Amino acid sequence: MRRRADSALLAIVGLGALLRLPGLFDDFWLDEIWSYRIARELRGPLDLLLSPVGRSDNNHPLNTLLVWLMGEQAHWWVYRLPSLFAGTGTVILAALIGARRGHLEAAVAAVLVACSYPLVVYSSEARGYGLVVCFALLAFAAVERGPVALFAAACVLGLLSHLTFVHVYTGLVAWTAYRLARSAAPRGAARRLLALHVVPATTVLLLYAVFVRHLTIGGAPERPTGEALAESLAALGGITGSTVTNPVAAVVVALAAVGLVVALRRHGRDEWIFALVALLVSPTVVIAAQVLLVNREQAIYPRHFVVLLPFLLVGLGTLAADALRQRRRRPAAVVLLASFVALNLWQTARFVRGTRGHYADAVAYIGARTPGPIVAVLSDHAARTGLVVEFYARVLPRGKQLLLIDEAQDPSSRPALPPAWVVAHGFASDPRPGPVAIDRGSGTTFRFDREFEAYGLSGYNWSVYRVDH
């Protein structure tokens, strides 16, 4: 029986790695290119936190350090390998945490994490999200039974992977403090609490002092907070819908988190305090503080919550395993689990077909249809489009050079050669590209030529326009 259970878990881990593999080989998108560019400008590891170029919210320090250590690579997918390993490790850790309750709990938790569409996407791109998820689960696994050094290392690496680790760490602090308050030996529990948190808490303070308070925020577009939050929560469940379906799906995900807290408490499991603080209280406080203090609409995306997703899935997985053991509740549990897996696998299949964008194909397409040696491209946004166009200039046919012109640039300071192409970016939810684009600087008209689409949680659609002769 044990051998069969181990074989099943090994197969699930293999499935998780296999699902993440195709996403390794599609095009680098804007945020990955931005991280790569930061890494290339670093003179040494300390610049990650102390230099002006490193003090950007697009710098996820551990990921940027790994890109810097890898040096220049001919194939950009190599930079995604750490995230792939972390994503596979996340499936293993989910199984180990579930196994504390039983073999069935381990299998269900591993399946949910392995098949989760957002976890597949973020553990196959060169950013800090796959890393932070892995270290968050490792910290959770180590806080109860692991050595203090392992917990401290997981927390430090998690904080350096992405600052959203703070949600998890806040939950871990609350959980361990709750245990101290209920301990029959408070002195020993207090020593354990101090030993656990002295290094992570010091790291939080140091990071804030030298890095966080100096951060510059990138150019993510602001959106109505309610709309952005609904879209993000819906995406965590594997749903990418409309302004009608997103709120419904978001409510379901939120109710699942609340239900998990209630169920854990009813079962007498003190993890409920972790779930309450990490999944509900901490994100709510952060979003409310941003809205009230910053006083503007927020650039909220699913990636800002992905560190919490495996905890929700593992917790619900243990409850589902209990239901599977009960004849009356088994059919409903099977239907819900099968629906979640099917929906997320369908989204993953669409992501693999659509990818994060076809930027290399677009640049090569433009280059092949430009008669002269200079490929003059007008960018509708210097950061979101121009940075990507410059990165993929490497795919232009031999003997051709890219000339990038920013639409916002004063016409009098533009190069003498006028642009022959316009590359405009957009989201999947945006209206379809119009038949013409007009350069606001020169008044030149460009005709729509082709669209290069992206699918999913990362990337932009590119609409290519050609000068109208």
Q: With b meaning 16 or more CB within 10 Å and e meaning fewer, what string describes 307-322?
A: bbbbbbbbbbbbbbbb
Q: What is the DSSP letter of 212?
A: G
Confidence of residue 181 (pLDDT cuts 50, 70, 90): confident
Phi, psi of 138 (to 5 degrees): -65, -40
Average pLDDT (366-388) is 90
Torsion of CA 138, 140, 144, 145, to 10 degrees: -20
Tokens at residue 367, please? 């280059």
Distance in angstroms (rounded) separating the CA atoms of residues 75 and 24:
11
Whole-angstrom distance, CA of residue 101 vs CA of residue 94: 12
End-to-end Cα spacing for the chain: 73
Residue 257 confidence (pLDDT): 95
Tell me the per-residue pLDDT of 29-65, one tens digit each, with 9 for 90 and over: 999 999 999 999 999 999 999 999 999 889 999 999 9
Structure confidence at residue 412 (pLDDT): 79
- Give every strand in the sheet of 461-467, ordered side by side: 401-406, 374-379, 421-426, 461-467, 445-452, 436-438
Q: Residue 182: pLDDT band by 50, 70, 90 thresholds?
A: confident
Structure tokens at 81: 């390998």
φ/ψ of 421, rounded to 5, equals: -135, 155
The DSSP secondary structure of 29-60, one letter per residue, reads: -HHHHHHHHHHHH-SSTTHHHHSTTT-BTT--
Q: Name which residue leads in pLDDT, 191 or 342.
A: 342
Written as one letter, the residue type at 458 is S
What tokens does 62 get? Answer: 């551990």
Q: What is the pLDDT of residues 398-448, one digit of tens each?
A: 889 999 998 888 877 888 888 999 999 887 767 778 899 998 878 889 999
Query: 330 is written with which tokens?
Result: 């088994």
Joined together, the tokens standing for residue 29 give 């998108």
Q: How far apart are CA 344 and CA 117, in angstroms?
A: 5
- The DSSP bridge pattern shows strands 374-379 and 421-426 to be parallel
- Please tell me the predicted confidence (pLDDT) of residue 242: 67
pLDDT digits (tens, 9 = 90+) for 434-454: 899 998 878 889 999 999 999
Q: What tokens were used for 39?
A: 């890494």
Cα separation of 357 and 361, whole Å? 9
Give helix 245-266 / helix 309-324 axis angle, nearest 10°.
Answer: 60
Q: Calculate the average pLDDT of the chain.
A: 91
CA–CA dist 330, 387 (Å, integer): 52
SS3 288: helix
- The count of other CB atoms within 10 Å of the CB of residue 285 is 13
What's the pLDDT score for residue 240? 77
Residues 294 and 41: their CA atoms lie apart, in Å, by 30
**Amino acid occupying residue 464:** V
Q: Which tokens hold the place of 135? A: 């270290």
Looking only at the bridges linking them, the beta strands covering 421-426 and 401-406 are unpaired
Q: What distance in Å separates the CA atoms of residue 457 and residue 461, rounded to the nearest whole number?
A: 12
Q: In Å, how far from its chain's centre is CA 318?
A: 25
Q: Which pLDDT does position 296 carry in this prediction?
A: 53
Read off the pLDDT of residues 340-370 as tens digits, 9 standing for 90 and up.
Answer: 999 999 999 999 988 899 999 999 999 999 9
Q: Is the pLDDT of residue 87 over 90?
A: yes
Neighbours of 10 (CB within 10 A): 13
* Residue 221 reports pLDDT greater than 70: no
What is the per-residue pLDDT for 420?
A: 92
For residue 299, give the amino acid letter. Answer: A
Q: Which helix (H) or strand (E) holds 393?
A: none
Question: Strands 445-452 and 461-467: what pairing?
Answer: antiparallel
Q: Which pLDDT value is given to residue 243?
A: 67
pTM strictly above 0.85: yes
Contacts of 117 by beta carbon, 8 Å cutoff, 6+ apart: 235, 238, 343, 344, 345, 347, 348, 351, 456
- φ/ψ of residue 463, rounded to 5: -105, 125
The secondary structure element, H or E, covering residue 293 is: none
Residue 352, classed as helix, strand or coil, is helix
